Amino acid sequence: MGEEAGSIHLEMAQKVFRENRGITYEWEMPLPEGKRYFQTTLSPVRDEKGNCIEIVGVGREITSLRLALEEVQVRLEEKNLLLREIQHRVQNNLQVIISLLNLQLQEAASDETKEEFQVAISRIHTFSELYGQLQDKEDVAHIRMDLFLLSLASRILDSGILQERPEFQWETEEVSLPLDKAITVGLIFNEIISGYIEQLAGNEKKVLKGTLKRQGFFLEFLLSCEGRKIEKSRPLYSSNPSLHQELIQSLVMHTNGTLEYRETEIIVKLPVF
């Protein structure tokens, strides 16, 4: 094979004798008709004391497999590039929509209309933040929900709904979801946190607590406020559900999840794994 092509075989054979264990390696050989790829497995033959005294080698040509893998890698890189471009354009379009809604918000006459515009803007911000997490990431198909939720809570708390920003205590573990599930879960988080914050308006400063963790096949999210009970007269318990409440229930039902309201807590469990 010549010194250059044969050196890897000598090196691998010495390694088998030295370490007394089998190894598998790949190598290539340039030929007039093109480069060829091979895979070789070397196994030690041991004496009665366990010492390596011979080597058995089995090789196979893997040129077609190697070329196929290289083609798949090229296609995968093209797909990732296309996904990044699409997600970038989606985020840009969402920012345009937010800008247009903000312009309309400035022209709104009634407080009720302004509030509806703000709710719509908040929901679109949620989409934008989800897609924003995919920028400059190798994995363009999954979202870190713990990072997203922290960003979401900070945005809502800084929205000016409350006169005094509550302290926010966050306890979570790293949780990643595919983009399609992350969008639904993100909207649920947005509606729950927004609705809960509205109930705190006009109250003294409180400590808002959130936890996010995985329990088997379920993603569990808990939101509570120290010393603050959920009033049953509020929209969350209304006999005539608001659009906000209906949206939460519809999204949770879409994931086959459960939503539970306790005295001071809201708990949602979503089977997303």
- pTM value is 0.65
Residue-range definition of the domain harbouring residue 30: 2-61
Same domain, 46 and 86: no
Q: Which of 17, 35, 61 is the last residue of a domain?
A: 61
CATH number of the domain enclosing 193? 3.30.565.10
Burial (CB count <10 Å: 0-12, 13-18, 19+), residue 185 = buried
Asked if pLDDT for residue 234 goes beyond 50, the answer is no
Note whether 242 and 176 are same-domain residues.
Answer: yes
Q: Is 73 within a domain? A: no
For residues 183 and 256, membership in a common domain is answered with yes
Number of compact structural domains in the chain: 3
Same-domain status, 146 and 261: yes
Per-residue confidence (pLDDT) for residue 12, from 0 to 100? 94
CATH of the domain at 48: 3.30.450.20
Amino acid identity for residue 49 in this structure: K
- Identify whether 243 is part of a domain: yes
Domain contains 67: no
Q: Write the single-letter amino acid at 76.
A: L
Please identify, among 140, 156, 179, the residue that sits at the C-terminal boundary of a domain.
140
pLDDT one-digit tens code per residue, 33-52: 888 999 999 999 999 999 99
Among 121, 140, 159, the domain boundary falls at: 140
pLDDT category at 89 given cuts 50, 70, 90 is confident
User: Is 256 inside a domain boundary?
Assistant: yes
Q: Does residue 69 belong to any structural domain of this protein?
A: no
Determine, yes or no, domain membership for 24: yes
Where does the pLDDT of residue 256 fall: very low under 50, low under 70, confident under 90, or very high at 90 and above?
Answer: very high
Same domain, 146 and 135: no
How would you list the strands of the sheet with 34-46, edge to edge? 23-31, 34-46, 52-61
Give tens-digit pLDDT for 213-229: 999 999 999 998 776 66
Query: Is residue 98 located within the same domain as residue 41?
Result: no
Mean pLDDT across the stretch 109-118? Answer: 86
Contact 186, 148 (CB under 8 A): yes
Q: Which residues have CB under 8 Å from 185's CB, separation 6+?
A: 145, 177, 219, 255, 270, 272
Residues 178 and 265 in one domain: yes
Residues 90 and 18 in one domain: no
